[in-house]
């Protein structure tokens, strides 16, 4: 088979690296993530090269030794954010710390350029940077400058180009959906400037990936961990296609952290897909709850769950006496990148299928993960091509560690300085009828590509309307120190005080969460919201609110495409009211809130 034209994305550790590649693949052009330290020669065959953003700041602790010679290969280059600054620096421009620019901004385009072909003179773009290109290198021109949403703070050189060399730098992130016409800019680069042929299709991937599976597995067998979610189901069908059923064994581990009646329905679904004969279902609740006993730190919990999956896998692999067996996992892209999959990326969360035990097995060549470079949308397309039924394809994603990461355990925190924070919050909420209660727990978030572990605030007061609410939730974490998440109280109480309660993972809390989660899912279904809402975690936070209950319940409906970024979803007043009323009827529940934060700065899950 002829090799496909391809585009390299140099991974400097920005959170959106794989998003760039996925968007290019969606145009039908193969794109792969590459290490910027690889030898220059290994980049010669690409049609184009993209330099990603980075958590590093170019002006100071910038990259030292990456293979900058790729900029001399004569191949078209496009840089975003940090990559844009590197292009300018390499040719003799200067980069300096400037005012931070974060969120939506308006780009004013000054010069015609093929990179902006078909666009207007003003474009909405998404920024996240603290450094800027100040002086342009010889031969480069300024294509555009940017201003924030209020028209203030003009940043020069937000887009630059050397048309002769086909080198382009954009200070913003066209790969993020919030850059409204980012897709068009990427397309202009890939198809028009690089001249790449669009012949990479997900349907071809069945045969290409099957061949790769056969090559890796050789004459061994695969024991696939099948959670029943879309990823592992697509993976199971792909293995079946590649290897047949004799050498494929499915292990569904009920980790005790599943949703209500989940394992039974998973078994029924996999059987319906013709995978029944290969399937073994084990109840490992005791193993998981034992490993989690007393743990409160989110990362420790994740590691305990991941390790227990491997222990149970090893035990059953031995019992099944399969001979040489590889561990199959339906790992997809966000599971790897958010664990700090690239050497420059910060670890936001360790995904259960990326704990050190699994990493070690990967090193030993004992793991086969045929979807590890695909996004959810691509996995769903592949599932469709493999004949997976629509209901399974459209299931909401559910994390491997399950309800284990939705039962917040919240170690006590002593860094909440209510006086300073209250003053900052009051200033930020001036002119609204809302009041903010900082909560004495923390949750995980991501700010400027780095992990954040900070406090949520509970907003209390008359509903200001969805747009205002989400605008406030966007503004608060930027203006108030130590905040990464905003909740809005919907249970009809007017909380004055939230007191921390020691909380671990117990059967009682799990039982409660299962009931509440089932009700929330049912309410979304009844209101016809299951398709619009991409995912909706329900979270128990161990807090006593004004002397009531032992849990604050948080419902987090979100809109997303690839889980790398997300926006809160408006589920409407009726659905909201129904959920609030039902959840408040439980004695253990002291208050109910919806999470109205985007990702970033909050992640989708709380831990």
Torsion angles phi and psi, residue 212, rounded to 5: -65, -40
The answer to the question of residue 352 lying near ligand XMP (CB under 6 A) is yes
Q: Exactly one of 173, 249, 316, 352 is catalytic; name it.
A: 173
Min CB(228)–ligand XMP separation in Å: 12
Closer CB to ligand XMP, 400 or 456, in the complex: 400
Cβ atoms 233, 329 nearer than 8 A:
no
Report, in Å, the least distance between residue 298 CB and ligand XMP. Answer: 10
Using rule CB under 6 A, residue 341 touches ligand XMP = no
Contact between 493 and ligand XMP per CB under 6 A:
no
List the interface residues with ligand XMP, window 518-537 (CB under 6 A).
535
Stretch that binds ligand XMP, among 68-76, 235-243, 398-406, 524-532 (CB under 6 A): 398-406
Q: Furthest-apart CA pair in the chain: how many Å?
A: 70
Using the rule CB under 6 A, is 517 a contact of ligand XMP? no
> Interface with ligand XMP includes 298 (CB under 6 A)?
no
Whether 566 and 605 have beta carbons less than 8 Å apart is answered as no
- Contact yes or no for 31/11 (Cβ under 8 A): no
Candidate ranges 48-56, 62-70, 395-403, 549-557; the one touching ligand XMP (CB under 6 A): 395-403
Residues 146-185 that bind ligand XMP (CB under 6 A): none
Report CA-CA distances (Å) from 2 to 193, 215, 326, 382: 22, 19, 30, 22
How many Å is the Cα radius of gyration of the chain? 25
- Token pair listed for 383: 């599932």
Q: Which residue has the tokens 């069945």?
A: 206
According to the binding rule CB under 6 A, does residue 397 interact with ligand XMP?
yes
Q: Which of 70, 487, 589, 604 binds ligand XMP (CB under 6 A)?
A: 604
Taking CB under 6 A as the criterion, the residue among 155, 173, 209, 351 binding ligand XMP is 351
Question: Of 401 and 440, which CB lies nearer to ligand XMP in the complex structure?
Answer: 401
Instruction: Name which of 113 and 484 has its Cβ closer to ligand XMP.
Output: 484
Say how many residues touch ligand XMP, by CB under 6 A.
17
Q: Is position 335 an interface residue for ligand XMP (rule: CB under 6 A)?
A: yes
Stretch that binds ligand XMP, among 67-75, 115-123, 347-355, 452-460 (CB under 6 A): 347-355
409 is catalytic: no
Nearer to ligand XMP, 341 or 590 (CB): 341
Which residue in the set 5, 86, 338, 369 belongs to the binding site for ligand XMP (CB under 6 A)? 338
Indicate the residue among 256 and 334 with the shorter CB distance to ligand XMP.
334
Does 404 bind ligand XMP (CB under 6 A)? Our answer is: no
Helix (H) or strand (E) holding 131: strand 122-133
Could you tell me the smallest distance in angstroms from the CB atom of residue 583 to ligand XMP?
Answer: 21
For the question of residue 536 being annotated catalytic, the response is no
Q: Who contacts 356 (Cβ-Cβ below 8 Å, separation ≥6)?
A: 303
Indicate which single residue of 79, 400, 404, 503 sits in contact with ligand XMP (rule: CB under 6 A): 400
Q: Which is nearer to ligand XMP, 327 or 460 (CB)?
A: 327
**What is the helix (H) or strand (E) element at residue 316, kind and residue range?**
helix 298-320
Annotated catalytic residue, options 81, 194, 536, 575: 81
Pair of tokens at residue 563: 């889980």
For residue 22, state whether it binds ligand XMP (rule: CB under 6 A): no
Residues 6+ apart with CB under 8 A from 522: none
Binding status of residue 340 toward ligand XMP by CB under 6 A = no
What is the SS3 string spanning 289-313?
Answer: HHHHCCCCCHHHHHHHHHHHHHHHH
Cβ nearer to ligand XMP, comparing 51 with 410:
410
Distances (CA, A) of 478 to 439, 449, 472, 499: 17, 15, 10, 25
Q: Give the helix ranges, DSSP H, for 107-250.
A: 182-187, 204-217, 230-243
6 counts as binding ligand XMP under rule CB under 6 A: no
Question: Which position among 63, 101, 123, 175 bears the catalytic label?
Answer: 175
List the end-to-end C-alpha distance of the chain, in Å, as a whole number: 44
- The reply on whether position 228 binds ligand XMP by CB under 6 A is no
**448 scored as a contact of ligand XMP (CB under 6 A):** no
Pairing relationship of beta strands 248-254 and 221-225 according to DSSP bridges:
parallel
378 binding ligand XMP? (CB under 6 A):
no
CA distances from 173 to 94, 161, 359 (A): 20, 16, 31
Tokens of 446: 């991501």
- Helix runs in 146-284, H state only: 182-187, 204-217, 230-243, 262-270
Q: Is 485 within 8 Å of 537 (Cβ atoms)?
A: no
List of residues contacting ligand XMP (CB under 6 A): 302, 334-335, 338, 349, 351-352, 397, 399-401, 535, 563, 599, 603-605
Catalytic amino acids?
81, 173, 175
């Amino acid at each position: 088979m002829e090799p496909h034209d391809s585009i390299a994305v140099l991974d400097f550790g920005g959170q959106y690296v794989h998003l760039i590649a996925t968007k290019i693949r969606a145009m039908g052009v193969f794109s792969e993530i590459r290490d910027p330290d690889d030898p220059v020669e290994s980049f010669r065959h690409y049609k184009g090269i993209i330099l990603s953003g980075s958590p590093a700041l170019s002006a100071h602790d910038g990259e030292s030794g990456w293979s900058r010679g790729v900029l001399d290969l004569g191949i078209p280059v496009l840089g975003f954010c940090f990559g844009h600054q590197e292009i300018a620096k390499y040719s003799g421009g200067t980069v300096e710390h400037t005012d931070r620019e974060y969120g939506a901004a308006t780009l004013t385009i000054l010069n015609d350029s093929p990179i902006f072909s078909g666009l207007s003179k003003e474009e909405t773009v998404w920024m996240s940077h603290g450094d800027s290109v100040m002086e342009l290198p010889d031969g480069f021109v300024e294509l555009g400058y940017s201003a924030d949403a209020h028209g203030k703070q003009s940043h020069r050189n937000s887009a630059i180009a050397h048309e002769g060399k086909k080198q382009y730098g954009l200070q913003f992130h066209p790969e993020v959906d919030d850059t409204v016409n980012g897709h068009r800019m990427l397309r202009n680069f890939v198809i028009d400037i690089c001249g790449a042929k669009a012949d990479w299709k997900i349907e071809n991937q069945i045969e290409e990936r099957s061949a790769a599976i056969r090559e890796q597995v050789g004459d061994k067998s695969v024991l696939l961990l099948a959670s029943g979610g879309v990823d592992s189901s697509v993976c199971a069908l792909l293995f079946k296609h590649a290897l047949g059923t004799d050498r494929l064994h499915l292990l569904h581990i009920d980790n005790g952290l599943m949703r209500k009646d989940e394992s039974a329905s998973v078994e029924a679904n996999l059987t319906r897909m013709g995978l029944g004969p290969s399937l073994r279902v084990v109840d490992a609740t005791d193993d998981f709850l034992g490993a989690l006993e007393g743990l409160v730190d989110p990362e420790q919990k994740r590691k305990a769950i991941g390790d227990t999956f491997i222990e149970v896998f090893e035990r059953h692999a031995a019992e099944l006496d399969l001979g040489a067996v590889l561990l199959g996992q339906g790992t997809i892209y966000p599971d790897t990148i958010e664990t700090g999959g690239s050497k420059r990326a910060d670890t936001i969360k360790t995904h259960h299928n990326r704990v050190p035990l699994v990493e070690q097995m990967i090193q030993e060549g004992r793991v086969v993960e045929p979807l590890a470079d695909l996004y959810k949308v691509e996995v769903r397309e592949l599932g469709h091509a493999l004949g997976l039924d629509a209901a399974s394809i459209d299931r909401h994603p559910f994390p491997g560690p399950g309800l284990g990461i939705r039962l917040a355990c919240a170690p006590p925190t002593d860094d909440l300085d209510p006086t300073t924070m209250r003053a900052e919050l009051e200033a930020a909420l001036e002119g609204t009828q809302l009041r903010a209660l900082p909560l004495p727990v923390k949750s995980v978030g991501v700010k400027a590509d780095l992990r954040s572990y900070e406090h949520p605030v509970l907003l209390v007061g008359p509903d200001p309307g969805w747009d205002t609410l989400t605008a406030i939730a966007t503004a608060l974490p930027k203006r108030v120190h130590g905040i990464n998440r905003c909740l809005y109280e919907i249970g009809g109480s007017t909380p004055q005080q939230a007191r921390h309660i020691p909380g671990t993972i117990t059967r009682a809390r799990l039982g409660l969460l299962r009931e509440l989660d089932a009700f929330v899912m049912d309410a979304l279904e009844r209101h016809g919201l299951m398709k619009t809402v991409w995912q909706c975690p329900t979270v128990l936070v161990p807090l006593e609110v004004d002397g009531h209950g032992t849990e604050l319940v948080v419902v987090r409906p979100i809109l997303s495409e690839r889980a790398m970024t997300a926006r809160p979803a408006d589920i409407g007043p009726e659905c909201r009211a129904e959920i609030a009323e039902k959840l408040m009827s439980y004695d253990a529940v002291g208050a109910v809130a919806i999470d109205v934060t985007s990702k970033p700065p909050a992640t989708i899950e709380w831990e």
